[in-house]
Every structure is written in C-alpha cells, then in structure tokens.
Structure 1
Amino acid sequence: MGRSVRDSLVVGKRNLIRMMRIPEVVIFGLIQPIMFVVLFTYVFGGSITIPGAPSGDAQAYHEFLMAGIFAQTVTFATAGAGAGIADDMHKGLIDRFRSLPMSRGAVLTGRTLADLVQTALTLVVLAIVALLIGWQTHESALSVLAGFGLLLLLGYAFSWIGAVIGLSVRTPEAATSGGLIWLFPLTFISNAFVPVNGMPTVLQHIAEWNPFSATVAAARDLFGNTIADAPKSVTGAWPMEHPVLASVIWSLLIIAVFRTLAVRRYRSATA
C-alpha cells in the first residue's frame, strides 16, 4: 500500500509539472466556467424565478446558480482526464510506465489526483469571480469549505469515468468527444441551472435522482444559498431530502465502480 501511494504521488507530480509547462490548458479551462457564470447571471438572471423568492429576484438566482456552475466545472474536467490518458496511451507513454517497477494502478491514480489539484485551483478562481458579481454565502467558513469539499469529491469521482473513457478509445479527440457528450444531459437534466418544478414529471424524477443534482443541492445547503420556505424536493426523492449524505454516497459509489473498471481496463490494455 505504501509503495502504491508513493508511486501515485510521483505520477501525480509528473502530471502537475506537465500542466505547468502547458499553461494554456489551465487558462482555457478557466475561461469556459467564467463565461457560463457571466452569461447565465446576466442573460437569464432576471427571467428565472426561484421557488420561494420574489419574481425576478436576480440575487436569488445568483445564489441558486453558483452551486450548479461549480458542479458543472468539476464534472467537465472529466473530458480533460480522459483525453490526457488517451494521449498517453496513443504516444506509448503507458508502455514506458509498464517497464518500470511500479504499481499498475498508480498511473491512473496519479493522473486523477493531478486533475483534482487543477480543478481545485479552477474553483478558487471561479469563486472569486462569483463574489465579484454578487454571490454570497450565509453559513460558516467551515460549512462553505465542506461544500467545496463535496464538489471536489464529485469531480474526483467523475475523473474515474473519464479514465475509463480514455482507456476505451483510440485517440485523444475521441476521448474528448466521448467525455463531453454524456455530460450535457447529465448537467442540464438537473437542478443546476433552473428549478426542477418547471420540468415535465418524468424529468423531475430523473433530475432529483441524478448524482449531479445531489451534490448541487448539498453545496447550496452548505453555502446557505437556499430559500427558507421552498420545498427541498418536488417528487419527494430521498437524495433531495438528504443531499449531503446522498452526495457522499453517490460519489463514493462512482469511485468504487469506475476505479475498478479503469484499473481492469488498464491491465487488459497493457497486457
């Protein structure tokens, strides 16, 4: 176990150094979420009514929106994780790692840890932008940090999905496309950007059992960005009634399943 942890940290350091030497990857990764914040805030902010808030209350929508943007940012990093692993496979770097006396799972764990560090830095910048446009938290600093911790846990879980995709395709371009195509319905059929009560009944059930929605709702609770009189759930879904616990369960379950699949796929791909 100690050797596996050490090998994972070495590979993670390698990936962080690589990211620092290609700063445009980090910069472009910051531009997209900032654009989403600005566009959703100023284009849709005055036209979407949050249950329990006065009609057209832009501040209420700002606070409603930010947890969704944060969650979208950490999950969209999945495409980058998959593309990076596919690129390493395509260039034969994985074969070089195979020749070294190191843990097999360390290659994937190190990559996902490096992506987690990059995602955390992106969240810091995004939070600063959100504060500048009027976003506020209404809970203690510890509670706010716990909210960001759940967001990073979700991002780490989804990076393992990206690892499976990256190991299953032949080119980095295919990994990027495969990593994004399923994220759009996952993030938009959720409570991230609009209230669930305006959706058709079938989509309401899907949205409230969506792992992404559980983390968004948990972050809103921990940030204090909820409306006191608004119901937590439209359909009575358990994850919406207990979002913090549901978020942790969903993320750990995703990690357990997809890490196992990724390591198994890695071993078969390099056998």
Structure 2
Amino acid sequence: MRAFVPPGVVLDGELVVWERGRTNFALLQRRVTAGRQLLREAREHPAYYVTFDVLVDAGGEPVLDAPLVERRARLMRLLAGAPPQLAVTPQSADLSEVSEWLTTWTAAGVEGVVIKRLDSRYEPGRRGWAKFRARATTEAIIGGVTGSIRNPDTALLGRFDRRGRLRYTGRTHPLATPQREELAGLLSPPRPTERRAVIHPWPDPLPAAWSGQFERPEPLRYVQVEPTVVAEIQVDTAYEHRRWRHRVRYARPRLDLSVYDVPLILGEGEDPFSGYARTA
C-alpha cells in the first residue's frame, strides 16, 4: 500500500481472502481473534484489497463531488501498475457482460453486483446505489425453529451428509405471518425413542459458532422439531464451512418431497449454485 498509494489518498474498498479459488470470509474474520498468531495467519492466507472508489486523490484533493465516471478514471490512473494484491473492482455498462459475471463468478463466491449512476457523487453515510444479489432456489430440512412450534419466528435448516447425519446449514429470515401459520400445522416435536428419550442431531442451545450471527455472538436458544418437513429456500453465494453465512429466504414447504430428496450437504469448495435454479 505504501509503495503504490500516495500519502493522503482515501480509498473505498474491501478486503478479500481467497482459498481454493473462492473468497473465504471466515479466514478474514479469524484475524480479529488471532492474537499472537496474526502474522502467521496473514502469511498463510494473505488478504487482497479490492478498491471500489477514490474519495481523496493524490495531493489531498477531495473528489467526493466529482461524478463516478471521473472518480473511476482517477482511480485507474492512481493504481496503474499496482500488484494483484491491490486490485480495482471491474466495472461495466454492458448488461451482457454483467449477466456473464452473475453467471460465472458466483462459483468464486461473488455475491452479486452493485449498480451506480455514472454521474453520481460520493455521499458518505448515504446509499446512493443498489445491490443485486445472485440467488439460487434449493431445498433444506427444517430441524428447529426460534419462537415456538405453534408460532415459529425463524426456521433452522439442515441437510444430510454422506454418512446420513443431519448437519446444521443455516437459518431463515423472520417468517411472514402466513408462513408461520402454515408451518405451525406441519411441525411437530421430536418423537421419543422406545426408551422415551428424545434424540435430536443438534445441541440445544445452538453453539454461537454455528449460527454465525456476528451481531449476537452467543448460543442460540431454539425449539427442536422432528426433521420431516422440507423447505424451499433461496440462498446466495456466501456458503462457507458447509453453512450459508447469510440468512436465507424461506419460500414454502415442499410437501411433495421426502427429506431424502433434498441434496446432500455440499463439500468445501463446491459451487453452492451448482445444479440449482438461479433467481434474482
């Protein structure tokens, strides 16, 4: 950064860590708690800085009021010849090229595209742009809910691995009232065994490391249910450590499907969109 960015320059961008051809947010987050192992983490999993915009140009010149097309030109000149670790995010006004990005780059963990006006100024604290996420429609098994079985707030989802174990894979956004009412008639508590013991594949509460909710990093209390209901969901590309990092969108129950019709849990490095129906 010191070698290629003049003092006083202010850039807008994002740190990215790559692992086996995909972005890996967990490896980036690991640096926060690495302590004395921070330098080793940085060496083993180096970060790249992908720049989006320039706010202050060389010489300390503020360019917030300049249109995006001019700021983009300044950014390209500023970082001309910089190494791959200091990259400029691609930009295009060609819709066919953008469609190609949404189709092919999702395998690398790219979540979508950001849409900005070429004549827009940079407005700190305001969102003068729109985000278009690439999503896919797929299925998962409901293994638990927050709230109650009769009034579920969110659904906790899972999939079988190749050994037949139901593994936790993610959580939905809050359910709409019609969805809650429909699920309330389908869900049931776990059935006890012959010895009257209730066996569920997940611990209660759900470990904080499983739920991945960074704004609330504590174990998640939930209600276990018999894992017999299949849900149709919409997911994005943020799939790491066999879980969807972002909350997923619940669409509907798939009463026509058995839990054994649900795709098996993905392995590390597999494309989360492979074989799914893509959606907007």
Q: TM-score, normalised by structure 2?
A: 0.24
Greater per-residue strand proportion: 2
Compare relative contact order (CA 8 Å, sep 6+) and give the higher one, 1 or 2.
Answer: 1
